Amino acid sequence: GLSAEAYSLRHEISVVGDNVPPPFTSFESTGFPSEILREVQSAGFSAPTPIQAQSWPVALQSRDIVAIAKTGSGKTLGYLLPGFIHLKRTRNNPQMGPTVLVLSPTRELATQIQDEAVKFGKSSRISCVCLYGGAPKGPQLRDIDRGADVVVATPGRLNDILEMKRISLHQVSYLVLDEADRMLDMGFEPQIRKIVKEIPARRQTLMYTATWPKEVRKIAADLLVKPVQVNIGNVDE
Ligand code: ADP
Ligand code: MG
């Protein structure tokens, strides 16, 4: 295999932060539990994508991350698989609320994340619920009441359900802002800030974005603590 340096160079990985661990260039080097490795194998994946290779070792150190990588680069498993490991460590009761919360800009994207979470989390007995607008609240509220380790939500619908006091975020300790640039473009910043107020400050926060404009830098500076920044390819400023 390639050395970590050669791998990073070849895949245009650049990092900003103190003592950033080297990328995991193979699935075997992740140390993920066998049930998770079996899932990636049966999905037919031969190696981590660059964003996964560099996000996983950082996320497994429980550090905050800002990851900047274009669409189609495998960001979803970049945050979901370390989220599953985090869940195994915390052993919270899902009846008391989710431990992992993923915010996503649209119903379509949230549903895709949910599908990936169900597929890769099933063998680890991880339960997931998806909350989005443009659909009746009843079934989503019933899903919440059954308990979920992972909630994937659009900010608008989650905020509505929070205002109804039908979900508690006091156990959330792994927060993902996926497509952060798009969520801000869509005007979700007030909802995101309200949601984050319900989550304990002692948490790990991961932000994934395709672009890195000043609005995204500002919310990253407010919500993340000493994040490691991971860039794949060129970052347009
Ligand atoms: P992004 O969020 O960066 O746009 P996705 O997480 O949606 O990208 O992944 C894009 C596609 O790549 C999905 O179909 C996903 O299942 C697939 N994928 C994820 N990880 C790998 C991998 N390590 N090897 C091959 N395909 C992968
Ligand atoms: Mg994505």
Distance between Cα 103 and ligand 2 center (Å): 11
CB atoms within 10 A of CB 51: 27
**Helix boundaries (H) for 137-213:** 137-146, 155-163, 180-185, 189-197
The pLDDT value recorded for residue 190 is 98
DSSP 23-86: P--SSGGG---HHHHHHHHHTT--S--HHHHHHHHHHHTT--EEEE--TTS-HHHHHHHHHHHH
Among protein residues, the one with the nearest Cα to ligand 1's atom 20 is 74
What confidence score (pLDDT) does residue 91 get? 85
Q: How far is the CA of 77 from the centre of ligand 1 (A)?
A: 7
Q: What is the DSSP letter of 234?
A: P
The ligand that comes nearest to the alpha carbon of residue 102 is: 2
Q: Are 148 and 127 a contacting pair, CB within 8 Å?
A: yes
Ligand 1 atom 16, closest CA: 74
Closest CA to 184 of 150, 146, 211, 149: 211
Tell whether ligand 1 has an atom less than 6 A from the beta carbon of residue 233.
Answer: no
- Tell me the CA–centroid distance for residue 40 and ligand 1, in Å: 11
Q: Is the CB of 75 under 6 A from ligand 1?
A: yes
Predicted pLDDT at 124: 95
- For residue 83, how far is its CA from the centre of ligand 1 (angstroms)? 16
Cβ–ligand 1 distance for 105 under 6 Å, the answer no
Nearest residue (CA) to ligand 1, atom 26: 45
Nearest to 142 by CA among 153, 159, 124, 130: 130
Supply the pLDDT for residue 74: 96
Q: Whose CA is nearest to atom 5 of ligand 1?
A: 74
Tens digit of pLDDT at every position of the chain (237 positions): 679 999 999 999 999 999 999 999 999 999 999 999 999 999 999 999 999 999 999 999 999 999 999 999 999 999 999 999 999 999 899 999 999 999 999 999 999 999 999 999 999 999 999 999 999 999 999 999 999 999 999 999 999 999 999 999 999 999 999 999 999 999 999 999 999 999 999 999 999 999 999 999 999 999 999 999 999 997 654
Distance between CA atoms of residues 169 and 133, nearest Å: 19
Q: What's the CA-to-centroid distance between 76 and ligand 2, angstroms?
A: 5
Q: Tell me if ipTM is over 0.95.
A: yes
Q: Model pTM greater than 0.90?
A: yes
pLDDT at 80: 98
What pLDDT score was predicted for residue 235?
Answer: 62
